A and B are shown apart, each in its own frame.
Chain A
């Protein structure tokens, strides 16, 4: 029969069993070790805890001014827009924008004058200029990123340059007429 001609036994041996059992234990063990090794790279508990909501009083921001603040370590712009800036942002044909979004969707109804956006360029993370009075505001009365030349409009939407997306709007809500809670 087959066994008579085969030089190797086809029977399952203890070595085969050990090979499979050890291999399986090794794979599971490796997986169990990889999880903590990778997971430690993620934001730690302290950093996440720093993401608690913050309150901000908008009353001191005069029309035409903008301020910077940090939430969760990320820079946020709050801008008190002029009538002209709001009108410009709303006159645009949304379909022609690189990242189509209406100005209405980016501000809270009844508080159109306040624009709250993250302050890092969506290209490679530089801080666009346009908050201080002397800053260049780009071709669209918003912000201009000096690193790679992205222009944002008065709604924080990308209009020109390498950045792919609009400045994102962080989660926030009005707790009073001139008070917001970010987070």
Chain B
């Protein structure tokens, strides 16, 4: 999608550098002159928000690591030390803990955006799969981070999640022992989780670079799902259009983030995690963090141990196969009258599973979880079947038409000409 580089070095130094390491040219081409579809809505700002959240988590995390002690006898107290003694330690910890939740809020919006507008379809399959890889890395990072304060939920969350591997036949128990570094979750487990919790964000960063590379190679999808046909008419330059929109959305999102940090810092956590880890007592009601609840509900819905673990894993891995499961060539749900209703049903199912994951595993809740689990996987089957017979609504002939089509007559044409000329004037 990106055409010839429009970067012109202005100073002698820039020319000198450009001939040796064209890094300024790279930045200019990918964040200034890079053409973005002119019809993007605010759901397209969550990529930028996620980039911000990743950097925020890395910065606060590195600082917290300077004050934290990864030892089973000292970890809990070192977190209290951060909260009470370290200057602004409370703020850094609350930013980091709530930041993880906000990261997942943003990533789920980002994913549902992709699902609604068919951003996973050709030629964006690899871009989408890289996103699934990032999600898996995020989940591993968040899980291991939650273990570090070494409270009751940390300890028992670690026990339950690592024990998932014991469901594997033959090798299961050995794998669990190697994960623990002992015969139960203990100090060796805490130490290796801290090491990996520090490593994984940088692996996420690496995959994010690939994700953005793939994005900039194939170009952004847009609400119509129609590919860019004429760069002049269908796109605007990234700066200032997308830049200002992304930053504005980011500031609004930081407002929500700040509300939790300053007014409800423990709303998304569990009170039980302020009790030091005790390997002899399990809290009466153990639940994972909210962002894992839908998957937890799927795990508990299957009455078989191995079956539950497989279903939970499949719930995430199935996303990677979505580009080939959806049989429709039309990307955007806006033009798919039947599939669109299934999409919204899927959103309700995901939220429903989240609710059920927080409820005790008994009686009607188990039956409801089983129905919702079937519906979750049913969505992917439905996408395959619907695409075979659904008659999509007529697509706009181009992105420019979809934006300007409503403005009939002279004024519309004039506006189209004016805005189409704008990239040249500003670029």
Which A residues lie at the B interface, using CB under 8 A? 38, 41-44, 47, 51, 68, 70, 72-75, 119-120, 123-127, 145-149, 162-164
Q: 5 A-B contacts, Cβ less than 8 Å apart? A: A43-B182, A47-B182, A47-B183, A70-B280, A120-B159
Cα–Cα distance between A164 and B173 once the two chains are bound (Å): 14
Question: Is B186 interfacial (CB-CB < 8 Å)?
Answer: yes
| Stretch from B135-143, B299-307, B331-339, B377-385 that touches the partner | B299-307
- A contact residues around B9 at 8 Å (CB): none
Determine whether the beta carbon of B192 is less than 8 Å from that of A162.
no
- B contact residues around A38 at 8 Å (CB): 178
Question: Is B254 interfacial (CB-CB < 8 Å)?
Answer: no
Select which of A74, A124, A163 is within 8 A of B160 by beta carbon. A124
Ranked 4 nearest A-B pairs via Cβ: A125-B163, A124-B163, A124-B160, A126-B282
- A contact residues around B178 at 8 Å (CB): 38, 41-42
Determine whether the beta carbon of B192 is less than 8 Å from that of A41.
yes
Determine whether the beta carbon of B177 is less than 8 Å from that of A42.
yes
Cα–Cα distance between A164 and B302 once the two chains are bound (Å): 13
Determine whether the beta carbon of A149 is less than 8 Å from that of B182.
no
Q: Can you list, as one digit per residue, whether each of B156-189 has a CB less than 8 Å from chain A (1) or not (0)?
A: 1001111110100000000001111111101010
Determine whether the beta carbon of A73 is less than 8 Å from that of B156.
no
Determine whether the beta carbon of B282 is less than 8 Å from that of A43.
no
- A contact residues around B360 at 8 Å (CB): 149
* Interface residues in B330-388 (C-beta closer than 8 Å to A): 360-362
- B contact residues around A47 at 8 Å (CB): 181-183, 186, 188
Determine whether the beta carbon of B184 is less than 8 Å from that of A73.
yes
Determine whether the beta carbon of A126 is less than 8 Å from that of B156.
yes
- A contact residues around B184 at 8 Å (CB): 73-75, 120
Tell me the nearest residue of chain A to B360, going by C-beta: A149
- B contact residues around A146 at 8 Å (CB): 282-286
Question: Is B279 interfacial (CB-CB < 8 Å)?
Answer: yes
Determine whether the beta carbon of B159 is less than 8 Å from that of A124.
yes
Residues of chain B at interface, number, CB under 8 A: 35
Tell me the nearest residue of chain A to B308, going by C-beta: A162
- A contact residues around B161 at 8 Å (CB): 124
Determine whether the beta carbon of A162 is less than 8 Å from that of B305.
yes
- A contact residues around B180 at 8 Å (CB): 43
Determine whether the beta carbon of B183 is less than 8 Å from that of A163.
no
Determine whether the beta carbon of B181 is less than 8 Å from that of A42.
yes
In the complex, how many angstroms separate the beta carbon of B107 from the nearest chain A beta carbon?
26
Q: Are A43 and B181 CB-contacts (below 8 A) given A146-B284, A162-B300?
A: yes
Tell me the nearest residue of chain A to B184, going by C-beta: A73
- B contact residues around A68 at 8 Å (CB): 280
Tell me the nearest residue of chain B to A51, going by C-beta: B183
Determine whether the beta carbon of A44 is less than 8 Å from that of B160.
no
Determine whether the beta carbon of B160 is less than 8 Å from that of A147.
yes
Given A44-B181, A73-B182, list of 4 further CB < 8 A pairs? Answer: A47-B183, A146-B286, A147-B361, A164-B305
Determine whether the beta carbon of B282 is less than 8 Å from that of A163.
no
Cα–Cα distance between A127 and B286 once the two chains are bound (Å): 11
Determine whether the beta carbon of A43 is less than 8 Å from that of B159.
no
Determine whether the beta carbon of A123 is less than 8 Å from that of B159.
no
Question: Is B281 interfacial (CB-CB < 8 Å)?
Answer: yes
Determine whether the beta carbon of B361 is less than 8 Å from that of A74.
no
* Interface residues in B249-303 (C-beta closer than 8 Å to A): 279-286, 300, 303
Select which of A41, A51, A148 is within 8 A of B300 by beta carbon. A148
- A contact residues around B280 at 8 Å (CB): 68, 70, 75, 119, 127
Tell me the nearest residue of chain A to B305, going by C-beta: A164
In the complex, how many angstroms separate the beta carbon of A145 from the nearest chain B beta carbon?
8
- A contact residues around B284 at 8 Å (CB): 146
In the complex, how many angstroms separate the beta carbon of B283 from the nearest chain A beta carbon?
8
Tell me the nearest residue of chain B to A38, going by C-beta: B178
- A contact residues around B160 at 8 Å (CB): 124-126, 147
* Interface residues in B293-330 (C-beta closer than 8 Å to A): 300, 303-305, 308
Tell me the nearest residue of chain A to B309, going by C-beta: A124
In the complex, how many angstroms separate the beta carbon of A169 from the nearest chain B beta carbon?
16
- A contact residues around B192 at 8 Å (CB): 41
- A contact residues around B283 at 8 Å (CB): 146
A68, A125, A127, A145 pick with most chain B CB within 10 angstroms: A125
Select which of B159, B177, B281 is within 8 A of A125 by beta carbon. B159
Cα–Cα distance between A40 and B305 once the two chains are bound (Å): 29
Cα–Cα distance between A111 and B180 once the two chains are bound (Å): 34
- A contact residues around B300 at 8 Å (CB): 148, 162
In the complex, how many angstroms separate the beta carbon of A74 from the nearest chain B beta carbon?
5
- B contact residues around A127 at 8 Å (CB): 280-282
Select which of B162, B179, B361 is within 8 A of A148 by beta carbon. B361
Cα–Cα distance between A70 and B183 once the two chains are bound (Å): 11
- A contact residues around B305 at 8 Å (CB): 123, 162-164
Cα–Cα distance between A80 and B266 once the two chains are bound (Å): 42
In the complex, how many angstroms separate the beta carbon of B300 from the nearest chain A beta carbon?
6
Q: Are A124 and B164 CB-contacts (below 8 A) given A42-B177, A42-B178, A147-B286?
A: yes
In the complex, how many angstroms separate the beta carbon of B129 from the nearest chain A beta carbon?
27
Cα–Cα distance between A177 and B45 once the two chains are bound (Å): 73
Cα–Cα distance between A47 and B191 once the two chains are bound (Å): 14
Cα–Cα distance between A127 and B280 once the two chains are bound (Å): 7
B160, B284, B308 pick with most chain A CB within 10 angstroms: B160
* Interface residues in B380-409 (C-beta closer than 8 Å to A): none
